[in-house]
Structure 1
Amino acid sequence: MPIIDQGYQHWSGRLAGHRWRWLAITRHGVKIAMRSYFLRYVLLVAWVPALVLVTTLSAWGLLERKSKLARIFSQFMQFMNPGVIAYPRHYRAEVWRLAYGYFFHVELFFAMIVILIVGPGLISRDLRVNALPLYFSRPLRRIDYFLGKLGVVATFLGMVLIVPAVIAYIFGLLFSVDFTVLRDTFVILVGATAYGLFITVSAGLLILALSALSRNSRYVALLWLGLWFVGGIGSSVLTAVHQQQRHYAYHRAMALRVAPPHGPPWGGTPAAHEPAVPTSRNWRALLSYTANLSRVGAHLLGTNMAWERLSRLEPTARGRRRLLARFGGPWYPWYWSAVVLAALLGLSLCILNLSIRTLDRLK
């Protein structure tokens, strides 16, 4: 039929629901991002900590079964307290929590790099070429556009954070061959998944908001680096100065043989009969974006709780305080970081709402 003839032709193709309209944007964004060889290299290297996590959980399962192979791995665990090695099932949950804690501590660094590669051009590129009218001339809402762009970030962060955590958990179950391991560690899987989703939503919306502020993706990348490094460096410097002041005040008070204005500089309380869990109101870590993410992750994974229980194996209160100050923490309330991240999330949503407009507002 000529194109000038008027008529109706029935659509014989496959109909798709409106709820999956954002998926086309995600697929296209992932396809473009995967063209970067540097991104592929980063994703490959990011799986190395996952292999370490799988090895750790599998080795602990063999240690619980008193396998002959466990003797080989036990030689690499001499840094742990002998009581933990002697009763591996008794301290199963604590070891799993700490293993996942170290895994996410390393993977958070790779997640920030992945976002630096993928995120800056997601919206700024559309603004530069004026592609928004093309998007919204189709049956596409702003929420679909945002979900599609967020799905690109979520895909790669899921490959770095969530998928390796779930795979490592499955391997840990297979090597344990004990039904009680599911009862003891299922909450850890839930916490790890929730932490991965929390990082994905928080960092994903933040990089989208930064990408909507400029048409140049290089400026967006610089903003992300500034948020990452400048905040982290400022927090580290202020924390180091605060610790130095505590050291000076404590040793000066001890030299004068008077009661120090606070506990020992390594945290905790000076009296042996008082609790060994250090408390801190140090707000300086709140300046670092990654430190706030780590604090929420420590709460979801329960790493501080695990260190508290392992510290009870130390014979003296002083040793317990030093162990907690060296490996545990941060000890300030986790909801402080949650409030800071919630404020950034609200700011990101406001920026996206004001920066991206549909066709009826593009006048």
Structure 2
Amino acid sequence: MSETGVIHDIGYQRYEGPRLGRAAAIKALYVHGLRAAYGLGRPPKAKIFPWLVAGVTLLIAVILAAVRSQVPEFEFTYAQFDDSLSWLIIFFVAILAPSLVSRDIRSGTLPLYFSRPLRAADYVLAKFLAMVSAVWLLLGVPQFIMFLGAAFTTDKGMTGVWDEVRELVPGWAYSLLWALLFTSIGLLVASLTGKQAFAAGGIVAIFLMTTPVVGVLASLPASAANHLAFLASPMTLVSGVGAWALGNDIGIDIGRYGPIYGIEAFCLITACLLLLLARYRKVAAL
């Protein structure tokens, strides 16, 4: 008795539409990461912390805008707004970075991401840009609210508005520096483990352990050590770059060593990104 095979048509068809390629994959991953940063498209529990932090920063901005409009002699710059929220930024990054990369490691979705046409470098770029955008928006939007409050209450007409614009743009640049440095450190630490709690703790620990070092170095009798002490912590490093490049009055004295702060910030961001890329290239090769 001979057996005969039967082919059943179950309706599968080849995809014949346009293939959008790597650029579309990077864009989709970037948009997904930015939405996930603020809990959009995720359960209500995931929205609590990011929107709580965003609400706090917006509330502070509204209060500062009101005070500045009523008390003209009250001086609080856009750069000082960033510095005053430094610890809030740390905790925001400590929660955000693991949610963007540690979850992918734990759930085992990286092999799917690294299927063609997306590459390891594309994944790193999309996640990095998404987190930089999220942190920058956390600082930039409240700064814009402060600007609107000052622009609509100035008694100098368009001259006063233009003066505020000239202060806002460097403030936004300073916020971008915060976002770049903290994102590079946060993503690198978070990429080392699939457990979000461990990743968050590691990120916070880096900032907690480096801050006391600044205090010790700043107390040394040597003048050079006092000026260079702020290189030891990412928070004071950002402040030092702001004092040198943007002329921010932030209460720290870096002397004539401003270029060293700029070089270290650039090297630190670059090193973190290269290590992050090497990390995911190794994962992609498995």
Retained in 2: the 8 A contact 1:188–1:301? no
Aligned: 1:23 with 2:30: yes
Distance 1:33 1:336, change over 3 A: farther
Aligned to 1:166: 144
Q: Is 1:54 the counterpart of 2:48 in the alignment?
A: no
Output the TM-score relative to the length of structure 2: 0.79
Which has the higher mean CA deviation after the structures are superposed, 214-223 or 160-169?
A: 214-223
Distance 1:4 1:188, change over 3 A: same
- CA drift at 1:301: 4.5
Correspondent of 1:353 among 268, 277, 282: 277
Q: Secondary structure at the match of 1:353?
A: helix
| CA distance in 2 between partners of 1:117 and 1:339 (Å) | 28
In the other structure, the counterpart of 2:154 is 176
* Structure 1 residues 300 and 173: CA distance shift in structure 2, 3 A: farther
Q: Shift of residue 163 of structure 1? A: 1.0
Aligned ranges 1:190-205 → 2 under 5 Å: 190-205=169-184
Indicate which of 100, 107, 117 corresponds to 2:85. 107
**Which residue is 2:215 aligned to?**
236
Matched-pair contact (CA < 8 Å) for 2:178–2:238: yes
Asked if the contact 2:21–2:117 (Cα under 8 Å) also holds between the matched residues in 1, the reply is: no
Structure 1: runs of 5 or more not aligned: 64-73, 78-94, 247-261, 263-278, 305-326
- Counterpart of 2:33, as a letter, is T
How much does 1:157 deviate?
Answer: 1.5
| 1:140-192 Cα distance to aligned partner (Å, 9 max, x none) | 23343223322442343233211111221122111115111244333311101
Equivalent position of 1:329 in the other structure: 252
Shift of 1:356: 0.5
Show structure 2 runs of 5+ residues with no match.
Answer: 1-7
User: Contact conserved, 2:104 with 2:110, CA < 8 A, in 1?
Assistant: yes
Residue aligning to 1:68: none
Q: Any idea what the Cα deviations from partners look like across 1:212-259, whole Å, max 9, x if unmatched?
A: 2223333322321221111111211332x32xx58xxxxxxxxxxxxx
State the alpha-carbon separation in 2 of the partners of residues 8 and 138 from structure 1. Answer: 17
Would you say the 8 A contact 1:128–1:216 is kept in 2?
yes
Contact 2:184/2:273 (<8 A) preserved = yes
Write the distance in 2 (CA, Å) between the matches of 1:281 and 1:4: 75
| Cα distance change, pair 138–167 in 1 and its aligned pair in 2 (3 A) | farther
Larger Rg computed on CA atoms: 1
For 1:82-114, what per-residue CA distance to the aligned partner results, in whole angstroms no more than 9, with x for missing partners? xxxxxxxxxxxxx4xx43233121122211111
- How far the C-alpha of 1:115 sits from its partner, in A, is 0.5
Does the aligned pair in 1 maintain the 2:98–2:200 contact within 8 Å?
A: yes
Residue 123 (structure 1) aligns with: 101
Q: Name 2:53's counterpart in structure 1.
A: 42
Do the aligned residues in 1 keep the contact of 2:94 with 2:201 (CA within 8 Å)? no
Question: Partner of 1:209 in structure 2?
Answer: 188
Aligned CA-pair RMSD = 3.4
Change (3 A) 1:180 1:216: same
**% same residue:** 22
Partner-residue secondary structure (3-state), 2:85: helix
**Is the 8 Å Cα contact of residues 49 and 107 (structure 1) preserved in structure 2?**
no
TM-score scaled to structure 1, two decimals?
0.64
Instruction: State the Cα deviation string for residues 61-93 of structure 1 (Å, max 9, x = none).
Output: xx5xxxxxxxxxx7xx6xxxxxxxxxxxxxxxx
Does 179-188 or 158-167 show the bigger shift? 179-188
Q: 1:3 to 1:358 in 2, by over 3 A?
A: farther
Q: Aligned pair in 2 of structure 1 residues 218, 206: CA closer, same or farther (>3 Å)? A: same
Deviation at 1:5, TM superposition (A): 5.9
The alpha-carbon distance between structure 1 residues 300 and 3, as it changes in their structure 2 partners (threshold 3 A), is: farther
8 A Cα contact 2:97 2:187, kept in partner: yes
Q: Structure 2 CA distance, aligned partners of 1:5 and 1:103?
A: 59
2:202 maps to what in 1? 223
Pairwise CA distance, 1:299: 3.7
Aligned length: 272
